[in-house]
């Protein structure tokens, strides 16, 4: 990605470490990936609620919500999905600098795009959470009816049906969201944050 000409990055006096000290926790990104219906958004918001009750500063970037504004001009082809991920990763960097724990819930189906996200954010600041849920369970949860439309050919480039999903080979956290309870899934993630000394 090229940098705009004649632009010099400003170095602020209030830096990330000072914001983290004020917040009482480190900033990090939890990147939730998985098929539609795997529970990414539900889990991300449940984790945020838990962290909020613990006094943490948090923000959830939800796939549908982001496409109402920041990425509202993008479609769902592979190139546009890749650009969607790039924009989100750049936003996450700003939230990291702000001392915030960000939670991003996106299908992010391709290895290459997730690798690019990690390069932008930084491996030390990203925890990849793979919501591993069988396709048949995701389809059972299809409250929007999108899988049915994709099966009928009414939606093109639908992940898991007409577009590929490449499961993470080595995620930081893998959760069986098809069979584990929401409470169990939330605990697994919060415990990981404690183990990494992100929250205390």
pLDDT for 138-190, tens place per residue? 999 987 899 999 999 999 889 999 889 999 999 999 999 999 999 999 999 99
Catalytic (active-site) positions: 108
Question: What 3-state class would DSSP assign to 180?
Answer: coil
Query: Which residues, in sequence order, are CB contacts of 30 under 8 Å at separation 6+?
Result: 44, 47, 101, 102, 103, 104, 127, 129, 189
Domains delineated in the chain? 25-195 (3.40.50.300)
Low-confidence ranges of the chain (pLDDT < 50): none
* pLDDT at res. 2: 55
**Rounded CA separation 10/113 (Å):** 29
Q: Would you say the pTM of this structure is higher than 0.75?
A: yes
**Rounded CA separation 67/62 (Å):** 9
DSSP 168: -
* pLDDT at res. 69: 67
Q: With both helix axes pointing from N to C terminus, report the angle between 182-195 and 40-53 in degrees, rounded to the nearest 10.
A: 60
């Amino acid at each position: 990605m090229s940098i705009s000409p004649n632009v010099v990055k400003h170095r602020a006096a209030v830096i990330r470490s000072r914001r983290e000290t004020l917040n009482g926790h480190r900033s990090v990104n939890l990147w939730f990936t998985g098929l539609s219906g795997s529970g990414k958004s539900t889990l991300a918001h449940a984790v945020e609620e838990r962290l909020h009750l613990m006094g943490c500063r948090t923000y959830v970037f939800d796939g549908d919500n982001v496409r109402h504004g920041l990425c509202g001009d993008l479609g769902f082809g592979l190139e546009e999905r890749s650009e969607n991920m790039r924009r989100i990763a750049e936003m996450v960097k700003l939230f990291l600098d702000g001392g915030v724990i960000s939670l991003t819930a996106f299908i992010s189906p391709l290895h290459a795009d997730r690798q690019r996200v990690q390069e932008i954010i930084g491996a030390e600041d990203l925890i990849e959470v793979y919501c591993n849920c069988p396709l048949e369970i995701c389809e059972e949860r299809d409250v929007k009816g999108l899988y049915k439309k994709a099966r009928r050919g009414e939606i093109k480039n639908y992940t898991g049906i007409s577009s590929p999903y490449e499961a993470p080979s080595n995620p930081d956290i893998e959760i069986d969201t098809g069979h584990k309870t929401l409470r169990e899934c939330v605990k697994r993630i919060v415990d990981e944050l404690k183990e990494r000394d992100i929250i205390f």
